Structure 1
Amino acid sequence: MYRKVLCLCVFLFLGYVNGQAEQQLLNKLACIDHEECGACLSAAPHCRWCADPYYKSAVPRCNDDVSLVQSGCSQGLIQRPLPALWEIVSNNTLQDVQPGNILGHVVQIQPQNIRLSLKPRETRKVKFSYRPAKNYPLDLYYLMDLTWSMKDDKETLVSLGDALTVTLKNLTDNFRIGFGSFADKPLMPFISVDEKRLANPCAMEEHACEPTYNYRHHLSLTDQVKDFIDNVNTSAVTANLDNAEGQLDALVQVISCGRRIGWSAHSRKIVIMLTDGSIHTAGDGKLAGAAKRNDGECHLDDNGYYADSVIYDYPSLEQVYRLLDKYKVNVVFAVTDSVKSYYDNVHQLLDDFTYVAKLESDSSNILKLVKKSYEDIVSVVDFEDDSSSGPVKVQYFTNCGVKGGSMMETTRCTGVEYGMTLDYEAHLTLDSCPEYKKITQKVRISESQLGQDSLDLEVELHCGCDCEADQIKDMSLTCPSNSHLVCGVCQCNKGWSGPLCDCSIEDEAASAALEAQCRDPNVNRSIACSGTGDCLCGKCDCDRGYSGRYCQCKNCERSVENGMECGGIGRGTCVCGQCSCVAGWGGAACDCPAASDSCIAPGATDVCSGHGDCVCGRCECMASEEDGKYSGMFCETCATCENPLCANAEPCVSCHLNNTCTDLCTIGNLNYTVSERLRDTETLKNGEISCILRMENEEGQECQYKYTYSAASSSMISMEIVIRSIDCYQATKAKIMNSALIIMACVIAGGLIAILVFKSAQIVSDRRAYAKFVKEAEESRLHMQELNPLYISPISEFRMPEAYNRDKID
């Protein structure tokens, strides 16, 4: 017995030692192929570089600490990864606008500045908060269509008076208001060139008006509403020929002429455009000779007119979008019902910065539109950044202000109110080094609607080493020509290669000695660079998908989850085509967690709902004799059983349909996002499960809502719900009553038809029998004498004699 136990212990010990040895070998292989310090330290966290220029050992310079020390590398010249950097430079607390200090210390995002570092294949989380400030300054500019058809709207705007002041003060105490008008380019064919019509475009209406102009700036932004009303009142209408106007020309001038308009550096900028006409866009101006491409610059003269409109073409929607994004201006198209569908299409192209509102024919609802549009604009928070200029990638997660809610991946939150604090996480990832030297990338994260408050990140990319030649004072090591000392080794200058840096990369005829350096000495009859690369001056230039000194290694698999090789830092390291995973991770790409948390459905405790096995972080469902095959991300549903996640999602679908919650719904500690794609005919994506909810709508109809859900992993618990179709019919009681009446009517009709058919058949049968009887009776009388010789007919016949005189009268 003791011998068996001893043998088992020895076996386990040898297995453990063997495993440790295999892991140490993989760790060495991850390092030794690299011949530059930056590439070495980026290969794996345990890799070190010997920068000692007198290091003569055969052990590679890129190795682990122990191997380099044992091989004689000076401890002080061993290059190690730089320590992680994390420093919050500026962290002012969130603060609203203070009375009497409009441009003071308003803070809407916290913190404001952070310095941090990133290593290759590393992801770091940056947490920040955002809270919309109360009484944030508002710059509101009315841009009005003053063509003849809008004269009534101008009179309505003049009559607003104190009501406009009250409306704006209810929105914010810090507001300013400006005014401008537009018509069209004063060129044929947009206007009449008749002399009388040039001087008075409204002559056909027997009314005097101002000559046609494209855009005129009347009043710069001011807090005096009386000045605004006076300027609107004194402005004159004009006219043009077609129904399309120069809205985009005017809008570009309003946006780009910041000094003339008076836009504040710290304010929410909104343009209310009132019009009942369609839009001239790029290319239309060429019809009138305005062929020069619109430059998006300010061209107002001293009187506020856009005088150069006869030179420049209309801008394109793409140009307008770029200007709106650059200057952070929101536009509300307040348009009449006749052109609303047209502006809905325009809004789809300028979605992030425009809104469409229906304007009454005389603009009587303009104050309601201002209030509604302002509330819609401030209730949306959306973040953006400028990380596209560098190798760092940014992902955003937020709870959208739901206290205790879990984080979900999105940049946009709706239904945001004053006083609501939104918690965000920015996940910064460095997939690989663009070059092996220390680089600093600056990332600016800002709210897309304002762009004034921001979180500035200074990200140091740890891709290089601190071991230049001038750090070594008392060493006189010289390098061959065409090379220089870098981190203890002679590195060839650009354009040269080979052991002595005497081989030009552009030299097509490589010598046999240099080509031999491209052959793997451990493989007999090996071909240069393993046949998967080109030998250039003694070094292999590997094809895509291969690496290693002799291009003998395939690239390692990338994680499906994050797209990084071997799952990224903290999960595994690529060792010559094979991923060496750290503890807690496994699989070919180190993307299989040892824990089973990702296989537990939101709000549940059982792994794979008790109907499957967790394999590589995903559920592999089983089948049962009673319910058949289970399916779903967590094996939560089958053909004959009720889906618990459908039941959990029903309250959020119901509140969304009843408009009693925002796009984000929280039940317990779970977040649900609900959206509608009623015209989406695509097949279900992997992981999406279909559900059905039956409920009555506001009209009392019984509706069937088909929706799908997709659940995220437990580390980011949330569910996305998409309503795919709505099928409504009459309520259940009415439906049953109608069905019963229809059935009764059908039964009665069927009975009547059956009786009529039976009666008709009976009548036809009786008539046929009677006809047959009559026929037989006639035949019987006709042949009766022949058949009965004793028969004597009761009919007697008398004839008068022929000689009797019938004409004689007695």
Structure 2
Amino acid sequence: MVWCNKGVVILCVLFLFLQCTSGQVVGQLLNKLACVEQEVCGACLAAASHCRWCADPYFSAATPRCNDYDSLVSAGCGQGMIQVPEPAVWRELESRPLQDMRGDDPVVQIQPQRVRLSLKPRETRKIKFTYRPARNYPLDLYYLMDLTWSMRDDKQTLVSLRDDLPNMLRNLTDNFRLGFGSFADKPVMPFISTDASRLANPCAAEGEACQPTYSFRHHLSLTTQVNDFIEHIKNSSVTANLDNAESQLDALVQAVTCGGRIGWAEKSRKIVILLSDGLMHTAGDGKLGGAIQRNDEQCHLDENGYYNLAGTYDYPSVAQIYRLLEAYKVNVIFAVTESVKGHYDQLHKILEDFTYIARLESDSSNILKLVKTGYENIISVVNFKDDAGSGPIKVKYFTDCGIKGGSMVESNRCSGVEFGMTLNFEVHLTLGSCVEFVKSKQTILIKESQLGQDRLTLEVDLQCGCDCQSAAQGALAQACPNNSYLMCGICQCKKGWSGPTCSCSEGDEAASAALSAQCRAPSTPAAPAGLRALPCTGAGDCVCGKCQCDAGYSGKYCQCKDCEISRETGLQCGGAGRGACACGVCACAAGWAGAACDCTEETDACVAPGGDGGVCSGHGDCVCGKCECSKSDGVSYTGEFCEACVDCEAANPLCVHAEPCVACYLEGNCTDVCVTSRANYTVVELVDNIMQRSASPIGTARCILRREESGLQCEYQYTYTAGTKSMVHMDIALMSRECSKPITAQILSTGLVIMGCVIAIGIIMIIAVKVSQVYADRRAYAKFAAETERSMMMMNQRQQNPLYKSPISEFKLPEDYPRNMND
């Protein structure tokens, strides 16, 4: 352990060098610094990809055991004793093809089924798998019916469905089984009357006979015989209770947990359809009747199928129901009347993953429709979960939800899934850091939450330790002090012990105080005077002479802050392969730059397909793998590769490159035309997908392709975007299609239409004039006839001879003639 203080001196010297050396030297020093501060083999190999550990027990204590390979060899470490990181592991252990239900052949809905892989600290691995819902997957449907007095008519409705029920179920799957159970309420006060006559016949007040009240009764185990199912419903008897709340949850616990009696198959979709018109009792209500013990979530059915401990155990809580439905992979369709549906809607918010709420008619006449709708709703949701829990491995899911050509989005849930759809998933496993620097394994099960029978098993090797236990043998191992062991060439304290001789228990405060001097940084320019006096630089606790740093700090004396987190990967310095953290500063690997090593220095992604225009088409700079377009001579360039501009006369070069691929796609005869020496084109048609068309990137460059189809001149508009693949990948999206007749045909058609319109207008005008004339003649004739008739009537009234003329003449002066007022 003598070399540790010298190592700190080396760190300080390195910090001084950082102030006055060139960028290349700075990078080399940071790479070395990332290694030399590590004190154990596992932490050394995890620090950076270039770090190596010397496991030679005779290695000089004056030189750090954690260093790069060349430095260790030059310092005298035997090459056979240099520990190197283990090679990556990736192997598909089981990958049976997807298969629907066929006879006795096993159903396969997920592929692959078992994968073994390895993870190093700050590393992310991607595992792809597919999921396809199998046709004719076995269905176990258990009818759980409220048989209290108010539901007596509903029982007869089910009996009348003797022929319709099996036909409806066969439309869903050919492999189905039916079972039947019923529930009422706990047979204790205050839920029932304790009057002797009412105990034997709870329906006495209604003038009818019924069986005594019970909490739950199992009538018929799951069977393929529909007639047996109908007969058991027909022969069942109703009962009664006092309140409008029943023991639905008691019945659910027994129906779910009594798998042997109910007959649930190991591989089947398990659905309970619960019919009721009442509210439900929950945990705490049973204590009113003396059922004070917490529900034990176990099966308690007697030989007649009755729940015989209803008076002992309280009603279960909603949380207990959730755990049971999740553990046994059972879904529940609550078919309830309108009056209580709101109550069950609140329950569905808690049990959303396993329940479906439907409105039941008062006589259950729509029960078949509810079963069909509920079943389709349940199978249309695919939701994957894992048991990684709070372990060191973090799991993320990405999926396309079966959309052809769709992009992968972060989600573990898909809705609207139909039979025949293949869903593509990606699981991202990330090991941020090692909890302990020892080799270990972790098995992660990824299961579909609705069924849980098809699963992907991931066997993960956590490469956090070293393979140098063989060095812990012989006299050297005996030389280590008590509470320690020889590991990879050094004496390493056992867990719970610390100090130079591993004699300090981490719970011994007095010993910790005595060793506090070892937690103070030496007097160097790298340690400010105000912090040198503080143990662990004021950023941690000194335990047995060793610093336990606060979150965000690291180093022997907690003198280093954590490095920046990459936004892309969520890991320090971008994770393994991009960079390593050297006392608060990222030492980036070749090809990466930036404060968090999240900026690639490669320019291949900035070269347009064809490569004719160079990096960013010569109109911009490649920054972090993306083009930043420039503005020159008043012209602004845009596009993925700065290849387009509004004021440019030349055609967009990417449109020219993409046209042959779009044309062959439309003709359906693509061969190798869509794969050039520098680009791989993929065409996706979004012409009819309004939602995706509206979601196209704003500002994306648009291209136009004009072609003749069936005598029509068609214009296609499409966009292109660059993908992230090994070679430049271009995704082409057809956005719109508009077809019209050629220009000559349009002119001819337009001329004919105009001529026709002129002729038609002329004919209409001639007809209008003729009609107007006829109308005027008829009006004048009618007026003449009327005047003649009026004159004849006046003469007839006076009885005058039509040849008679009056001898009286009458004259009138004009109105403006001057008159003498005396006249």
Q: Same fold (TM over 0.5)?
A: yes
For the residues of structure 1 that align with 2:355 and 2:275, how far apart are their CA atoms? 13
- Pairs within 5 Å for 1:577-592: 577-592=584-599
1:519 corresponds in structure 2 to 521
1:556 corresponds in structure 2 to 563
Q: Shift in Å at residue 615 of structure 1?
A: 7.5
Contact 1:404 1:669 in 2 (8 A): no
Q: Deviations over 1:340-394 (max 9, x none)?
A: 1221111111100000111111111111111111111111111111010521111
Q: Deviations over 1:660-689 (max 9, x none)?
A: xxxxxx9748999989xxxxxxxxxxxx99
Tell me how many residue pairs correspond in the alignment: 632
The answer to whether structure 1 residue 26 and structure 2 residue 27 are counterparts is no
2:291 corresponds in structure 1 to 290
2:351 corresponds in structure 1 to 350
Alpha-carbon spacing, 1:302–1:503, altered in 2? closer, same or farther (3 Å): closer
Structure 2: gaps (5+ residues): 1-20, 608-612, 643-682, 699-720, 732-823
The answer to whether structure 1 residue 50 and structure 2 residue 50 are counterparts is no
Q: Of 82, 85, 97, which aligns to 2:101?
A: 97
1:124 corresponds in structure 2 to 125
Any idea what SS the aligned residue of 1:303 has? coil
- Pairs within 5 Å for 1:291-690: 291-470=292-471, 478-505=479-506, 506=508, 508=510, 515=517, 518-520=520-522, 522-523=524-525, 526-527=532-533, 528-593=535-600, 668=685
What letter matches 2:89 in structure 1? L
The answer to whether structure 1 residue 265 and structure 2 residue 266 are counterparts is yes
Any idea what SS the aligned residue of 2:187 has? coil
Q: Shift in Å at residue 538 of structure 1?
A: 4.0
Q: Shift in Å at residue 195 of structure 1?
A: 1.9
Contact 2:154 2:363 in 1 (8 A): yes
Contact 1:405 1:669 in 2 (8 A): no
Q: Shift in Å at residue 612 of structure 1?
A: 12
What letter matches 1:574 in structure 2? C
Alpha-carbon spacing, 1:512–1:339, altered in 2? closer, same or farther (3 Å): closer
Any idea what SS the aligned residue of 2:389 has? helix
Q: Shift in Å at residue 136 of structure 1?
A: 0.7
Q: Deviations over 1:530-563 (max 9, x none)?
A: 3434444443333332211222211212234443
Q: Shift in Å at residue 193 of structure 1?
A: 1.8
Alpha-carbon spacing, 1:670–1:586, altered in 2? closer, same or farther (3 Å): farther
Q: Shift in Å at residue 173 of structure 1?
A: 1.1
Contact 1:395 1:409 in 2 (8 A): yes
2:155 corresponds in structure 1 to 154
Q: Shift in Å at residue 478 of structure 1?
A: 2.0
Q: Shift in Å at residue 622 of structure 1?
A: 12
Contact 1:469 1:485 in 2 (8 A): no
Q: Give the CA RMSD over aligned residues.
A: 3.9
The answer to whether structure 1 residue 64 and structure 2 residue 71 are counterparts is no
Alpha-carbon spacing, 1:389–1:673, altered in 2? closer, same or farther (3 Å): farther
Contact 1:557 1:589 in 2 (8 A): yes
Q: Shift in Å at residue 480 of structure 1?
A: 2.9
2:188 corresponds in structure 1 to 187
For the residues of structure 2 that align with 1:280 and 1:619, how far apart are their CA atoms? 64
What letter matches 2:25 in structure 1? A
The answer to whether structure 1 residue 81 and structure 2 residue 88 are counterparts is no
What letter matches 2:44 in structure 1? C
Contact 1:520 1:529 in 2 (8 A): no
Structure 1: gaps (5+ residues): 1-16, 635-665, 676-687, 690-711, 719-810
Contact 2:245 2:279 in 1 (8 A): yes
Q: Deviations over 1:21-51 (max 9, x none)?
A: 2221111000101110111111111111000
For the residues of structure 1 that align with 2:374 and 2:566, how far apart are their CA atoms? 44
2:281 corresponds in structure 1 to 280
Alpha-carbon spacing, 1:452–1:673, altered in 2? closer, same or farther (3 Å): farther
- Pairs within 5 Å for 1:714-729: none
Q: Shift in Å at residue 584 of structure 1?
A: 4.5
Q: Shift in Å at residue 142 of structure 1?
A: 0.3
1:724 corresponds in structure 2 to none
Contact 1:126 1:425 in 2 (8 A): yes
What letter matches 1:508 in structure 2? A
For the residues of structure 1 that align with 2:341 and 2:604, how far apart are their CA atoms? 50
Q: Shift in Å at residue 413 of structure 1?
A: 1.1
Contact 2:358 2:370 in 1 (8 A): yes
- Pairs within 5 Å for 1:635-784: 668=685
Q: Deviations over 1:390-409 (max 9, x none)?
A: 21111111111122222111
Alpha-carbon spacing, 1:465–1:561, altered in 2? closer, same or farther (3 Å): same
- TM-score under structure 1 normalisation? 0.71
Alpha-carbon spacing, 1:619–1:502, altered in 2? closer, same or farther (3 Å): same
Alpha-carbon spacing, 1:535–1:162, altered in 2? closer, same or farther (3 Å): closer
What letter matches 1:591 in structure 2? D
For the residues of structure 1 that align with 2:524 and 2:63, how far apart are their CA atoms? 16
Alpha-carbon spacing, 1:198–1:495, altered in 2? closer, same or farther (3 Å): closer
Alpha-carbon spacing, 1:313–1:670, altered in 2? closer, same or farther (3 Å): farther
Any idea what SS the aligned residue of 1:508 has? helix
What letter matches 1:337 in structure 2? E
Alpha-carbon spacing, 1:74–1:517, altered in 2? closer, same or farther (3 Å): farther
Contact 1:405 1:670 in 2 (8 A): no
For the residues of structure 1 that align with 2:516 and 2:307, how far apart are their CA atoms? 70
What letter matches 1:579 in structure 2? C
2:45 corresponds in structure 1 to 41
Q: Deviations over 1:613-646 (max 9, x none)?
A: 99879999999xx9xxx9xxx9xxxxxxxxxxxx
Contact 1:517 1:539 in 2 (8 A): yes
Alpha-carbon spacing, 1:295–1:597, altered in 2? closer, same or farther (3 Å): farther
What letter matches 2:226 in structure 1? V
Q: Shift in Å at residue 292 of structure 1?
A: 1.1
For the residues of structure 1 that align with 2:596 and 2:376, how far apart are their CA atoms? 48
What letter matches 1:565 in structure 2? Q
Q: Shift in Å at residue 590 of structure 1?
A: 2.7
Contact 1:398 1:409 in 2 (8 A): yes
Contact 2:477 2:485 in 1 (8 A): no
For the residues of structure 1 that align with 2:602 and 2:473, how far apart are their CA atoms? 49
Q: Shift in Å at residue 57 of structure 1?
A: 5.2
Any idea what SS the aligned residue of 2:517 has? helix
Contact 1:129 1:423 in 2 (8 A): yes
Contact 1:123 1:427 in 2 (8 A): yes
Contact 1:132 1:418 in 2 (8 A): yes
Alpha-carbon spacing, 1:670–1:562, altered in 2? closer, same or farther (3 Å): farther
Q: For structure 1, which segment, 199-208 or 477-486, has the greater mean C-alpha deviation from structure 2 after superposition?
A: 477-486
